[in-house]
Amino acid sequence: MSLAAGIKIGRYEIHEKLGEGGMGEVYLALDTKLNRQVALKILPAQVAADRNRMSRFIQEAKAASALNHPNIVTIYEIDESDSVNFIATEYIDGETLRDRIRSAPIKLSDALSVAAQIAGALSAAHEAGIVHRDIKPDNIMLRRDGIVKVLDFGLAKLAEPAPIHYVDTEALTSAPIKTEPGMIMGTAIYMSPEQARGFQVDARTDIFSLGVLIYEMVAGRLPFAGSNTIDILAAILSDKGPSPLARYRHEAPAELERIVEKALAKEREERYQSAKDLLIDLRQLKKRLELDAERARTTPPEKFAVPPSGDRFGVPPSSGISSELKAFPPEGGIPTA
């Protein structure tokens, strides 16, 4: 049941509902003590009732809040008031990556910027021993100034029950995979193969999920698709890789194809072994494309037009001047032969 505007949860005054998911409802609220806006996530009662799971979540959320990384949403408080368990976090004025993908095609430069910022956040988290486990467009916020924020570090840990030894395929539907009511184990289309199989996951599962995001931003479609969750998981678990990015985005450079292919390797030993390595490659590619674009903007037009009955230097083809010499452009130009 949604909370009405004006209701107080501890020192937080509810303003409006922002959204909801398997791990609770999210509200825009006012911290009446510090006079600042926050995002207040109200945890489902059945989740909060599991003390062991809450303890694991609080431990990981505390570790995430200590990261103080510009691309990770800040956790202000985890508390309980009148039997309501909540998390107060930084409020992000912007849109989710899901909304951006749905609204219009994403420019290649913007996709690389978003991907690099997510990789930076994951690198910091992984170095602190924290695996997100649920990287997807809904958990990525894009601020109006272009800064990317990764949400919900620790919530996947809260959703994680005791060790999983299999995926219950009979329970799979087109909705996110669940193990118990309200406990989302991850959206199937962004799962790594090992996560889909219910195996123990590590940092490389986040790298695979980020690979799916990059593919989706660039190609405008998912790398592994299906009409329902079973079909999607079958595609993820098969040996077949996705179609090349260039099939859907002709300007996608070969280096980006290589990066995405490596991030989406079905065997985690063949993937990037750290988000830091992925970040380095993304930054290098982004820098190279920016330099190429700058050269294209600043290169002056050719000074001489090609005469209709000769080469561009006005020398008839039969003049005997070597083709090597004629291949040189006028000063400041670019060879075209």
CA dist list (Å): 263 to 111, 150, 275, 282: 15, 19, 10, 11
The domains of the chain, with CATH numbers, are 8-90 (3.30.200.20), 94-294 (1.10.510.10)
pLDDT tens by residue, 234-268: 999 999 999 999 999 999 999 999 999 999 999 99
Spatial CB neighbours of 74, under 8 Å, sequence gap ≥ 6? 65, 68, 89, 90
- What is the 3-class SS of 142-176, one letter each residue? EECCCCEEECCCCHHHHHCCCCCCCCCHHHCCCCC
Token pair of 92 as six digits: 């992000």
Low-confidence ranges of the chain (pLDDT < 50): 161-186, 303-304, 310-337
pLDDT in tens, 198-232: 899 999 999 999 999 999 999 999 999 888 888 98
The total number of residues written for the chain in this structure: 337
Prediction pTM value: 0.80
What's the pLDDT at 52?
Answer: 82
Q: Determine which one of 50, 82, 110, 134 is catalytic.
A: 134
110 three-class SS = helix
Q: What pLDDT shows up at residue 178?
A: 40
Q: What percent of the chain has pLDDT over 70?
A: 79
- For residue 187, the model assigns a pLDDT of 77
According to the model, what pLDDT value does residue 307 have? 55
What is the model's pLDDT at position 51? 83
Predicted confidence at residue 322, as pLDDT, reads 40
Provide the mean pLDDT of the chain.
Answer: 82
For the chain, the distance separating the N- and C-terminal CA atoms, rounded to the nearest angstrom, is 70
Torsion of CA 175, 179, 180, 182, to 10 degrees: -40
Q: Is 134 a catalytic residue?
A: yes
What is the H or E stretch that residue 179 is in?
strand 178-180
CA distance 25 to 18: 8
Which residue is listed with tokens 């994680």? 160
Residue 135: burial class (beta carbons within 10 Å; 0-12, 13-18, 19+): buried
